[in-house]
Amino acid sequence: MILADSHAHVYSEQFKPDRDAMLNRAYEAGVHTIYMPNIDHTSIDVMLETEARFPQQCHPMMGLHPCSVGKHFEKQLYEVEEWLGKRPFVAVGECGIDLYWDKTLLAEQQEALRIQMNMAKQHKLPLVLHTREAFRETADLVEAAQDGTLRGVFHCFSGTKEEAEEVIRLGFKLGIGGVATFKNGGLDKTLPGIALEHLLLETDCPYLAPMPHRGKRNEPAYLPLIARRVADILGKDEEEVVEATTRNTKELFSAAS
């Protein structure tokens, strides 16, 4: 089975000792396509170096992560815009709102997201959204900006059935990762009844490793564990889940298909 990891930080410092071996393990596990979200100006070089070494497997996005949004975030967004005009990327992201660590910069995060939504429209690219402890705040901004041209994914989705249905109404996909395998992750209650056409699979590596690797470094080779769990939750054949989510992912990020 051929899989696509819709969200993986394979350029992370945590993979520095064994990046090549890790990406080879991913390929051997069937993960032939990996989409890399950018964090900020410090991650661009190593992300593009990873693409250069594995151009058929690893495809970069360009954006500014909400946790990297400070008081003077405009300079970093100028750099994002400059890169988007310079060469192809598969998406704008990851961007969004994160109120888990710090709530004091909400206004700045909201403005940074508005700007990046406009970039996505201008460049006709999908958005990859980070919504940690901030689903409502993010969804409200997306709804206000949705003119029929915005598309993308709420990555690392772990919300309620009602929130899932709202994401779908907004024209976005649900990125499902390791949380689906957690005993109290909640997705066993959210996902039943959600059509496969709305789902992408992701690892968000090196974070959020699925069971039985929870608490350890995550990597794309573990994506089949997530696919298996999603198939169990939906009562579907694993191959059907893999085929549908891989197709959805490649269609969304069509520049790299």
Model confidence pLDDT, tens digit, residues 125-155: 999 999 999 999 999 999 999 999 999 999 9
Please report which confidence band the pLDDT of residue 17 belongs to, taking 50, 70 and 90 as the band edges: very high
Q: Would the pLDDT of 13 be above 80?
A: yes
Residue 109 has pLDDT above 60, yes or no: yes
pTM of the model: 0.97
Mean pLDDT taken over the chain? 97
At 77 the pLDDT is 98
Residue of 57, 9, 6, 11 whose CA lies nearest to 35: 6
pLDDT higher than threshold 60 for residue 20: yes
pLDDT band at 255 (very low <50, low <70, confident <90, very high): low
d(CA 237, CA 68): 40
Is pLDDT at 71 greater than 90 in this prediction? no
**Residue 241: in which H helix or E strand, if any?**
helix 238-252
- CB within 8 A of 75, min separation 6: which ones? none
Question: How much of the chain, in percent, has pLDDT values that exceed 70?
Answer: 99
Tokens coding 56: 């058929």
Shortest CA distance to 234 belongs to which of 198, 191, 202, 197? Answer: 191
Is beta strand 127-130 parallel, antiparallel or unpaired with respect to 92-96? parallel
Which helix (DSSP H) or strand (DSSP E) does residue 93 occupy?
strand 92-96
Banded pLDDT at 257 (limits 50, 70, 90):
very low
